[in-house]
Structure 1
């Protein structure tokens, strides 16, 4: 991905699209810095095992401006005033940021590239509850307030992270795991007997656009949108989600806002998709149609790699066939091998793994990205 004070390296890169095991932010930061060194994309670690406030919803809710939350047995709830749970979420994110900065400083490394993953405005509204017991998504005013509050708070966080870490290129990953359910109207209400009415695509697009523009104006160089499909009955396929993302994110040719210090490089936008085969079991050719369209338009694709299989022998290497598989499909659909540099390979969520397994998965992801980049440099498969 891109830019900040200069273009990102023209290479296939690796990153993490999910949480990390353990509860020690210093240990997690050390794993990120050592495992995803340049030219790859380290991520501010998420540690749900640390407890309330470090889970995906609580961590993102802690970014809200002028809205407060607390934790109830059924989940995070919007409340009039911040209490202990809200303060814990804010403190945990600050601790994570300080830990990563300190570890990088101790290692003498500059964090030129850094990524921050947050729950997107629609999915956050789906996972926050009103005092009356329903999802805030079900109330137009509440979900509007959540979207606006998250947009303002995330922009402030981008400015803080850039100032503290010195990252010249900051990528914001907007995770919308409930996107298809929200647009399809299949998300269950609190009772489970009904579903929340589908949210109009115009409203979803407006929320995504506002958030993307706000973080770019705050200094982010890249925005990755990760829309999700999770259940049966979701009538929104990947192609429709990609189209909505395309309408919501800045195009590769869009100029950025002017800066008093000089011209600002144009922002980059990327779409996160699951890596699936073109044919055979688990295949989805529509995902590859999206990849072709996005890369030819100058945009980036983040491939979320599947969970690695269990180690069956001493020579087991996760993702050892991934690079060749992607390159073969790339050739079959007629894409220029040079465009492989627009790919980022992302290790999946590791929160349920041991630290040893998580680091091995991250190492395998980096190895796959580097192998794929060698194929790119060779002009494709021989």
Structure 2
């Protein structure tokens, strides 16, 4: 419950608190087990090589379902005890392609290798995630709920870069049409269930992956709803604003680690009234990043300082250099790095630093730029 309390206190409006993820609790709380517990009419168990699809749910499956249910209840209880109204909430799940890549068939291969299994996983996840969205909104009273579809294996799946069980071959690449349809299915399911935002977070690891960030962004644009306005299916309610966003790692425009094509993606998405989520690096990586050093040299001895200091200004400088309207900075969301392995103190420090950087960037937007 302490994780829920820290997140609700640190990420009040206008920031987005997240439903806590605590993988250190053990099997069932890791990203794959947690998402697999949402599957409807499909069951899993845990084997030495990972999570496996099985005919009937057993102890591992029940543990995964219980952990996620506990997290929902804990957040609700903390909010109630503290008198906090949960206006906004963000929930992260593993997307259908990465889930199929990490779930194994009874015969020993990845479920990704079987067309029928991929279809069943995507449809089951869509149904289970829709129920999850409804349960969260009902229990927490969240007015706005954003779902992040985390697809760390996206480029590998599309490039045919994932090894088979033997390790001697790779799973055949999937057609973009199938990946697009799976993403569209999930996005529509969560929006129809009452979510007010959808964020697609495709990933690249690099080795053997032919798909670039530009390729992934184009496919995401095809898969996600084209309009940020949508009405709730079957409710008769008036149209409400929906958030459609793409998540990308934050990189500089020039110099070490630069990627100008990624900034072209940012420009295209924000000018099309879509949001971009920049994933901040870890505190250690941030101290070594040219994003921060470009403005204020990082001081490793300043342990209590903001490891992201200078990043907000650097983003605004890049914004001006590529000719974007400063008002569009409001389309940016900064996401704190994964803190699941961090200590309680370090996690809270990282959250505070990310919040301070986001608020710095918003002040620059309100001032009309850097001037």
In 2, distance between residues paired with 1:121 and 1:52?
A: 20
Match of 1:100 in 2: 75
**Structure 2 spans left out of the alignment, 5+ residues:** 288-299
SS at match of 1:345: strand
1:344 paired residue among 323, 326, 333: 333
* Equivalent-residue separation in structure 2 for 1:72 and 1:315 (angstroms): 42
Q: How much is the aligned-residue C-alpha RMSD, in angstroms?
A: 1.2
Mapped to 1, the partners of 2:32 and 2:96 lie a distance apart of 11
1:125 equivalent to 2:114? Answer no
Q: 1:177 and 2:152 equivalent? A: yes
Instruction: Please report how far the alpha carbon of residue 307 of structure 1 lies from its aligned counterpart in structure 2 after TM superposition.
Output: 1.1
Runs of 4+ in 1 over 4 A off after TM superposition: none
Equivalent residues in 2 for 1:219-258, closer than 5 Å:
219-253=194-228, 255-258=230-233
Asked whether the 8 Å contact 1:252–1:268 carries over to 2, the reply is: no
Pick which of 104-113 and 247-256 moved more. 247-256
Q: Distance in 2 between matches of 1:266 and 1:36?
A: 21
**Which ranges of structure 1 fall in alignment gaps of 5 or more residues?**
1-25
What is residue 369 of structure 1 aligned with on the other side? 358
Are the counterparts in 2 of residues 258 and 264 from structure 1 also a CA contact under 8 Å?
A: no
Q: Tell me the matched-pair count.
A: 357
Give the match's secondary structure for 1:246. Answer: helix
How much does 1:351 deviate? 1.8
Contact 2:28 2:65 in 1 (8 A): yes
Residue among 105, 121, 124 paired with 1:146: 121
The CA distance in 1 between the partners of 2:72 and 2:303, in whole Å, is 37
Residues in 1 aligned to 2:303 and 2:218: alpha-carbon distance in whole angstroms: 44
- Of 66, 70, 73, 2:41 maps to 66
Match of 2:19 among 29, 41, 44: 44
CA contact (8 A) 2:23 2:29 kept: yes
Aligned to 1:357: 346
Corresponding residue number in structure 2 for 1:277: 252
Contact kept in structure 2, 1:303 and 1:343, CA below 8 Å = yes
In structure 2, do the counterparts of structure 1 residues 352 and 257 end up closer, same or farther at CA, with 3 Å as the change threshold? closer
Task: Look up the SS of the partner of 2:100 in the other structure.
Answer: helix
Q: Deviations over 1:21-52 (max 9, x none)?
A: xxxxx011011111111110000000000000
Residue aligning to 1:260: 235
Question: TM-score normalized by structure 1?
Answer: 0.91
Question: For the residues of structure 1 that align with 2:34 and 2:307, how far apart are their CA atoms?
Answer: 30
2: CA distance between counterparts of 1:258 and 1:352? 39
Preserved contact between residue 250 and residue 268 of structure 1 (Cα < 8 Å): no
The Cα offsets for residues 46-67 of structure 1, whole Å up to 9 and x where unpaired, read as: 0000000000000000000000
